[in-house]
Chains A and B, each alone.
Chain A
């Protein structure tokens, strides 16, 4: 186990004292692009259930997946891509029956708010003025996987390699652009709102160049609060939940896709 993982697991143990009778506590590992949405719904969830406390663990889906594999005491996993959820399912670490897709997102390319660069289409990223482009690390960060797929389909992934800066999660990619450290970055349309004064959308890659960005949620098999976790998934797919997600810019899951 790496130092990082071990410390994370230890952190869980320290931060989550043994459940007191009567009080219920649930830990959610959530893809960081869902941060605001899950926090909003979480407040609603706790208000309607007295004595319930939610703890959040935000990160890249790949990072969260590894923590669950390492035995982190998590009740609910919300991923920004199917791959991480698939791998956990194959390893028998989630309760398959609970898995539900509840939202969809769209990839976008952003630049700093004051940027004078003309970036309107994928080919513009190859321009000399664009020195660095941030993408999530495709190995662990879903937004990086989608960016890789999209750039590969237009034949730019390899030529752009020297410019690529890898971020550990989508919010770090957003931060690099907001700080002006890089000229452009791949994030979700919903992320832009988090730094709307520092970044602007440059263009959206064609949606047929990458797999649909869908968010699956599932109860972790080792959960001590499976009913509570299931209740949260129910909230996500409920009319209320969908309305809240829609207000934050998320789209409903593609028709006919349930898991």
Chain B
């Protein structure tokens, strides 16, 4: 495997791991709120989180450019203040993967949280727990299998992200060229050996993730 291919593989794993961690940080509390709290704008939040699942990745990528590009709503003030822009950096690949993978985690975790018997939460409240402690000690541990499954799906999605990443992060070898982009370029340039190596590497990695997830699930059950 070439240096470029190895770097793409390393980058893909790094991007997917960081994106999954970010998803966990954002997605688990979000899933809890959507499952257990009635708040203003809940339907809107639900819609926004789910959209990347149904929209073509390029549409999500386009929105991300409008938001985070150097002249974007958020990107412009950041660039004006710091002279730095997230587009075409590996952070952009992380953001694209995070947004694209988030709905998979939120939906799976939310369903798992909703299936936890509410009486158990009420019991914890009567036994002196705040809602926050109840979520940590009762709801989330009981929804663990679903949350782990959601994280695995999110990781797999982040690993395979292509469209939105290409739009926001570009295809810069060594910086933003993740494995899916490297495979695309390799095929475009007729480097079939490289493409096959990367295809096999990504397939193997995905299998390892699924097997590990299966083990985790079995231990949790």
Contact = CB atoms under 8 A, between A and B. Distances in A.
A66 B191 CA distance: 11
B71 interface: yes
B188 A166 contact: no
A207 interface: no
Given A66-B190, A165-B172, A179 B185 contact: no
Given A179-B71, A181-B70, A165 B88 contact: yes
A120 to B, nearest CB: 22
A2 B69 contact: no
Nearest to A164: B172
B85 A181 contact: yes
B147 interface: no
B189 A2 contact: no
B20 interface: no
A3 B163 CA distance: 12
Contacts, number: 54
Interface residues of A, number: 23
A140 B173 CA distance: 14
Interface string B95-133: 000000000000000000000000000000000000000
B87 interface: yes
Contacts of A179: 65, 69-71
B165 interface: no
B66 to A, nearest CB: 10
B187 interface: yes
A62 interface: yes
A62 B173 CA distance: 18
Contacts of A3: 184
From B170, B185, B188, B190, residue with most partner A Cβ within 10 Å: B188
Interface in A61-75: 62-63, 66, 69
A137 B171 CA distance: 9
B195 interface: yes
A123 B183 CA distance: 34
A182 B170 CA distance: 12
A167 B172 CA distance: 9
A1 B170 CA distance: 22
A6 B184 CA distance: 12
A61 B146 CA distance: 47
Given A63-B188, A179-B69, A181-B69, A166 B87 contact: no
Given A2-B195, A166-B173, A181 B87 contact: yes
A181 B88 contact: yes
A180 interface: yes
A180 B183 CA distance: 28
Contacts of B69: 179-181
Interface string B149-184: 000000000000000000000111100000000011
Interface in A16-57: none
Contacts of A2: 183-184, 187-188, 195
Contacts of B88: 132, 165, 181-182
Nearest to A2: B187
Interface in B174-210: 183-185, 187-190, 195
B188 A62 contact: yes
A181 B83 CA distance: 12
Given A165-B88, A181-B87, A69 B190 contact: yes
Given A179-B70, A182-B88, A66 B188 contact: yes
B185 A137 contact: yes
B187 to A, nearest CB: 3
A124 to B, nearest CB: 18
Interface string A153-183: 0000000000011111000000000011110
Contacts of B71: 179-181
B188 A139 contact: yes
Interface of A: 1-5, 62-63, 66, 69, 131-132, 137, 139-140, 164-168, 179-182
Given A166-B171, A168-B171, 6 more contacts: A66-B188, A66-B189, A137-B185, A166-B173, A181-B85, A181-B88
What 6 A-B pairs have minimum CB-CB distances, sorted nearest first?
A: A2-B187, A139-B189, A180-B71, A180-B70, A181-B70, A165-B88
